[in-house]
Amino acid sequence: MSENMEKNTEMDEENENFITLTDDNGEDVSFEVLDVIEYNEREFAVLLPFEDTEDEVVILEVIPGEDEETDEFISVEDDELLNEVFEEFLKRCDEEFECQ
pLDDT digits (tens, 9 = 90+) for 12-62: 445 568 999 988 889 898 999 999 999 999 999 999 998 866 778 999 999
Instruction: Give the other-Cβ count within 10 Å of 42's Cβ.
Output: 13
Backbone angles phi, psi at 3, to 5 degrees: -70, -45
pLDDT over 80 at 69, yes or no: no
Of residues 42 and 68, the one with the higher pLDDT is 42
* Cα gap 85→18, rounded to integer Å: 20
* Cα gap 55→32, rounded to integer Å: 11
Q: What is the mean pLDDT of residues 56-71?
A: 87
Of residues 80 and 12, the one with the higher pLDDT is 80
